[in-house]
Amino acid sequence: MQGGATIAGIARRSVIVLLWSLMCAVCLLPSPTHGNGETGAQAAARRAMVAGLRAEAGVPGMRTHIDDDVLAVLGKVPRHRFVPANQQRHAYENRPLSIGQGQTISQPYIVALMTSLVAPQAGQKILEIGTGSGYQAAVLAEFGAQVYTIEIIDALAVQAALQLRHYPNVQTRIGDGYHGWADAAPFDAIVVTAAAASIPPPLVAQLKPGGRMVIPVGSVFFTQTLMLVEKDIDGDVRTRQVLPVRFVPLTGKH
């Protein structure tokens, strides 16, 4: 996937991170398994993750604000099921994790922020570019949207489809996300989880008037910028910068 993390922020949130780490350390003590196959420790660690994100949520109306309904969804989706077994003990830490194939699952804060920026709603059609582990698609699906997600790496796409089988409102595809999913367009929102050198014109074309797209833009070797792209009801497009990020590059033939 196509994971991402903020470049700055660890230092200014050092106290939160320290408290979060202590909470997670307690959460990882042995505990019984729940009926859904999740341990009490995993459930507690997820609650601690959400508490940490809530402390970072920011002021409503600000471009880096995380919505309460997004935090509620992150409190439901079991992130540990979307990471390899050797990473599960770190699943609820606020950082990206390797999922193999040179890809990562995004930092929870970034997932929460990108989801807040596109403001998913029940009944919408949402396109995700870069399925990766399937975690972001699962988060979007929890809102009741119809999610179309594309992954270019076969092995990741197959594994993600298996993890997402419990979501009947998610469709997966193996392919080059740069060109979008034309036969399902237009979309109310598009979430791109890999950095493009510039905003792909096919994705702009597939965005519905009134829709939003969030995408990291920039070179893998330099600072990238998370961008919010909005298309108004007349089809005019405007963009604004959100914050500096670091994502793996968008790959494919383009």
Of the candidates 31, 98, 106, 116, the residue annotated as catalytic is 106
Torsion from C-alpha of 30, 89, 150, 231, nearest 10 degrees: 100
Torsion from C-alpha of 165, 188, 124, 233, nearest 10 degrees: -170
The terminus-to-terminus CA distance of the chain in angstroms comes to 18
Of 19-28, 173-182, 202-211, the poorest mean pLDDT is in 19-28
3 confidence band (pLDDT: 50, 70, 90): low
The reply to whether omega before 186 is within 30° of 0 (cis) is yes
Domain locations along the chain: 1-254
Mean pLDDT of 130-153: 98
CA–CA–CA angle 35, 86, 157 (5° rounding) = 85
Single-letter residue type at 94: N
Topology at the third CATH level for domain 1-254: Rossmann fold (3.40.50)
Mean pLDDT of 210-239: 94
8 confidence band (pLDDT: 50, 70, 90): very low
pTM of the model: 0.85
Place of tokens 């910028």: 225
Q: Give strand ranges (E) for 103-249.
A: 103-105, 125-129, 146-151, 170-174, 187-192, 207-217, 224-231, 237-247
Mean pLDDT of 228-235: 96
Q: Work out the percent of the chain whose per-residue pLDDT is above 90.
A: 76
C-beta of residue 245 within 8 angstroms of C-beta of residue 110: yes
- Residue 21 annotated to the active site: no
Q: What is the pLDDT of residue 253?
A: 73
pLDDT tens sequence across 154-196:
999 999 999 999 999 999 999 999 999 999 999 999 999 999 9
> Which of residues 2 and 220 earns the better pLDDT score?
220
The whole-chain average pLDDT of the chain stands at 87
